[in-house]
Chain A
């Protein structure tokens, strides 16, 4: 799956790529078309290139070369159309020939900067000096282009005469004649140059792709430094120390709110996540999903340290408005997703993230469904995280509880506005089969109608 498809299902990952700075639209396109990889060697290779780029970026001695490289990438144009024309033996016009000369010019300059940065192994660029030579018959060494006099012996005398006539308001008929002759010669030369360039098409395409990739890699490196991301370490399970969610952390910072990163370890089988409302269970699922997508797309991840593993896919059932837009009830769209997950889990090794399954139906059938999901997913090769408010599920799977609401955690009066400061988002292993009963307490803190709460309490007591 490509990043452009992944971000449609993961707003957190969308936020990550929206935070990246690209020099060119080609670089952005390279990012959108890059794949979610399941190949450990490919990922290690990508992280090695990323680390090399980060190191080069931070090396004070080569700052100048880094600026030069960025400058080259800024001038990169998307020449897909032009190169397709070249590949199909179409005659290119002067503007298109200029674009090709310019690509060769900037990639040669980029290759020099890349070599100075010691990044040539990570970012090899094809040699296109022959292309440049064809389009620079006077050896000017600059990217400027026109149909030079030296391409055809008839051009120089023709243009001399044209110049003399133009400067002295000469005979319009003769000027027209010369312009037509020049146009014929130029058209013929454009065809000739296009033919000569044709064999270089593949190399030019490769050059453009590599330049676009360089832009992507630089953007990734810059993000890794700016956000202090961590290189993932491939193992056979997941273990994050201080995992954080980029979108939420930055939003909290903007609002002056506290953000608490979380430590989490996951193994094959099912891990149930329990905890009171507002304890960040859904956010935790999303954070794990986004970090996994980032890792397998060759990014560094938002954590202090990250052990992770390779999955065939990250699949989710996290309710959002999108489903209602599709005309399905929340229960219908959820059960379709879960059924798909269960089927796929027989074949694939997935990271499965399910948020409060069956919460919108009656609790008797709902609980039965959750128990069935756990029974099916526990022995599967996938790693499954399920958040739930149901207790007494009776399965022997692992449970993590968000510590949640801690009265007196802050030395301040509790209000709906600052409730976030009284929640401990960290996880703790839970041996019991119970879930926290804090819904009424939180409702009361939020200023909920007193009669409503006391009646609910009475109902429990009976």
Chain B
């Protein structure tokens, strides 16, 4: 029973797919089944259903996540009414979504449900808190359609990354794309003193000098940066970005004298493309994060929706070799 024991060390877990059809659902169902056998009280919610995706993606969707007795879950009214599990309503949110209000329920007889949850990470944090008050041991967030924000360590403690042939049928490309995200997830965390110092900073670009003093560089958003990159290094070579780390920022910093340490809040704030990020590192700079995510496992779905089928065993091995971490084909484990 790989990686389930690791999950139990945490209070909240997100499942993130690198693309659609990377086997997130299979992975979630696997985890839920194992946790049920271990009698863990689970709460399940999701993120990322928004208006325009509803009709195209969910109009024909059928319930596909199996929930077990005692599990708490959150979904929209519309999806609740088509559930196959027998469950009792515990709460209804006063805010409405395009699919009706979000409801919280507890499963009485196991069965499949369709999840639709929070629109924002803020709402997600509230839901996880509410689950805690209902006696839930572990909150699981099902990610939707290439949203990474739910995996931020400020939302969920641990994460599982699902990848597969849907990302690219070319194994080399699949590995390269997965590896880029994997590297970001595993970026080195700053020391605890720096963490304490920077945690409260909400916005802007900051420099940290040798004495550990922080200086506001007066840049409200890195998107507004002009050509003053040299000036950004007037204090020291350690910089903290409270918001997003963009290609633009990295491109400005890359040509500067080597030795810049750039600190991001966490990996979900890094929006740089693999090429630009690699250039930045090659120049001798480095990237750190304020808070590192705990990656529990990488899973692989060898089948793509277009019908490509990769060899499960060799692809898992190649990916595992490249990432230096175990990679599982969940369907294979199940058999």
- List residues of chain A with CB under 8 Å of any chain B CB: 24-25, 77-78, 93-95, 98-99, 102, 144-146, 159, 162-163, 166-167, 175, 179, 182
- Contact call A145/B100, Cβ cutoff below 8 A: no
Residue from B77, B86, B109, B110 in contact with A95 in the complex, judged by beta carbons closer than 8 Å: B77
Bound: A146/B83 CA distance, A: 13
Question: A95 with B94: in contact, given A144-B88, A162-B109, A166-B111 (CB under 8 Å)?
Answer: no
- Contact call A24/B94, Cβ cutoff below 8 A: yes
**CB interface residues, B 35-89, toward A, < 8 Å:** 69, 77, 80-81, 84, 86-89
Contacts of B88 in A (CB 8 A): 144-146
Residue from B86, B100, B103, B106 in contact with A162 in the complex, judged by beta carbons closer than 8 Å: B86
Write 10 A-B pairs (CB below 8 A) sorted by A numbering: A95-B92, A144-B88, A146-B87, A146-B89, A159-B86, A159-B108, A162-B86, A163-B110, A166-B110, A166-B111
Bound: A182/B110 CA distance, A: 14
B90 at the interface (CB under 8 A from A): yes
Contacts of A94 in B (CB 8 A): 80-81, 89
- Contact call B108/A146, Cβ cutoff below 8 A: yes
- The chain A residue sitting closest to B112, CB to CB, is A166
B101 at the interface (CB under 8 A from A): yes
Contacts of A144 in B (CB 8 A): 88-90, 106
Question: A99 with B92: in contact, given A163-B109, A163-B110, A167-B110 (CB under 8 Å)?
Answer: yes
Residue from A25, A98, A162, A163 in contact with B89 in the complex, judged by beta carbons closer than 8 Å: A98
Contacts of B111 in A (CB 8 A): 162, 166, 179
Q: Which of B69, B80, B84, B109 has the most CB of A within 10 A?
A: B109
- The chain A residue sitting closest to B111, CB to CB, is A166
Q: Which of A94, A163, A179 has the most CB of B within 10 A?
A: A94
Bound: A146/B92 CA distance, A: 13
- Contact call B84/A145, Cβ cutoff below 8 A: no
- Contact call B81/A146, Cβ cutoff below 8 A: no
Residue from B77, B89, B94, B109 in contact with A77 in the complex, judged by beta carbons closer than 8 Å: B94
Bound: A93/B92 CA distance, A: 13
Contacts of B90 in A (CB 8 A): 144
Q: Which of A25, A78, A99 has the most CB of B within 10 A?
A: A99
Q: Which 4 A-B pairs have the closest CB atoms?
A: A146-B88, A166-B110, A98-B89, A163-B109
- Contact call A95/B84, Cβ cutoff below 8 A: no
- Contact call B109/A159, Cβ cutoff below 8 A: yes
Question: Nearest Cβ distance between residue A103 and chain B, in whole angstroms?
Answer: 11
Question: Nearest Cβ distance between residue A424 and chain B, in whole angstroms?
Answer: 44
Contacts of B103 in A (CB 8 A): 95, 98
Question: Nearest Cβ distance between residue B281 and chain A, in whole angstroms?
Answer: 49
Residue from A99, A145, A146 in contact with B86 in the complex, judged by beta carbons closer than 8 Å: A146
Bound: A146/B104 CA distance, A: 12
Contacts of A163 in B (CB 8 A): 69, 109-110
Contacts of A25 in B (CB 8 A): 94
- The chain A residue sitting closest to B94, CB to CB, is A77
Bound: A24/B106 CA distance, A: 26
Bound: A77/B100 CA distance, A: 13
Contacts of B89 in A (CB 8 A): 94-95, 98, 144-146
- Contact call A77/B87, Cβ cutoff below 8 A: no
- The chain B residue sitting closest to A76, CB to CB, is B94
Question: Nearest Cβ distance between residue A377 and chain B, in whole angstroms?
Answer: 49
- The chain A residue sitting closest to B69, CB to CB, is A163
Bound: A25/B94 CA distance, A: 9
- The chain A residue sitting closest to B103, CB to CB, is A95
- The chain A residue sitting closest to B93, CB to CB, is A77
- Contact call B81/A95, Cβ cutoff below 8 A: yes
- Contact call B100/A166, Cβ cutoff below 8 A: no
Contacts of B100 in A (CB 8 A): 95
Given contacts A99-B92, A163-B109, could you give 7 more A-B pairs where the C-beta distance is less than 8 Å? Answer: A77-B94, A95-B92, A95-B101, A95-B103, A146-B88, A162-B86, A166-B109
Question: Nearest Cβ distance between residue B79 and chain A, in whole angstroms?
Answer: 11
Bound: A159/B86 CA distance, A: 8
Question: A102 with B84: in contact, given A95-B100, A146-B108 (CB under 8 Å)?
Answer: no
Contacts of A102 in B (CB 8 A): 92
Question: Nearest Cβ distance between residue B174 and chain A, in whole angstroms?
Answer: 32
Bound: A85/B100 CA distance, A: 16
Contacts of A175 in B (CB 8 A): 84
- The chain B residue sitting closest to A167, CB to CB, is B110
Q: Which of B81, B86, B111 has the most CB of A within 10 A?
A: B86
Q: Which of B69, B94, B100, B108 has the most CB of A within 10 A?
A: B94
Contacts of B94 in A (CB 8 A): 24-25, 77-78
Bound: A145/B106 CA distance, A: 10
Question: Nearest Cβ distance between residue B115 and chain A, in whole angstroms?
Answer: 16
- The chain B residue sitting closest to A77, CB to CB, is B94
Contacts of B108 in A (CB 8 A): 146, 159
Question: Nearest Cβ distance between residue B103 and chain A, in whole angstroms?
Answer: 6
Bound: A379/B92 CA distance, A: 60
Residue from B69, B84, B92, B110 in contact with A98 in the complex, judged by beta carbons closer than 8 Å: B92
Q: Which of A24, A95, A98 has the most CB of B within 10 A?
A: A95
Bound: A144/B134 CA distance, A: 13
Question: A93 with B109: in contact, given A25-B94, A159-B86 (CB under 8 Å)?
Answer: no
Contacts of A145 in B (CB 8 A): 88-89
**CB interface residues, B 162-200, toward A, < 8 Å:** none
Bound: A102/B93 CA distance, A: 12
- Contact call B87/A179, Cβ cutoff below 8 A: no
Question: Nearest Cβ distance between residue A247 and chain B, in whole angstroms?
Answer: 29
Bound: A25/B100 CA distance, A: 17
- Contact call B92/A77, Cβ cutoff below 8 A: yes
Residue from B77, B84, B92 in contact with A179 in the complex, judged by beta carbons closer than 8 Å: B84
Bound: A159/B90 CA distance, A: 20
Bound: A179/B86 CA distance, A: 9
Contacts of B86 in A (CB 8 A): 146, 159, 162, 182
Bound: A93/B83 CA distance, A: 13
Question: Nearest Cβ distance between residue B196 and chain A, in whole angstroms?
Answer: 32
Bound: A400/B81 CA distance, A: 69
Question: Nearest Cβ distance between residue A63 and chain B, in whole angstroms?
Answer: 23
Contacts of A24 in B (CB 8 A): 94
- Contact call A95/B87, Cβ cutoff below 8 A: no
Contacts of A166 in B (CB 8 A): 109-111
Question: Nearest Cβ distance between residue B95 and chain A, in whole angstroms?
Answer: 9
Question: Nearest Cβ distance between residue A101 and chain B, in whole angstroms?
Answer: 9
Question: Nearest Cβ distance between residue A25 and chain B, in whole angstroms?
Answer: 7
Bound: A363/B13 CA distance, A: 76
Question: Nearest Cβ distance between residue B170 and chain A, in whole angstroms?
Answer: 36
Bound: A144/B81 CA distance, A: 16
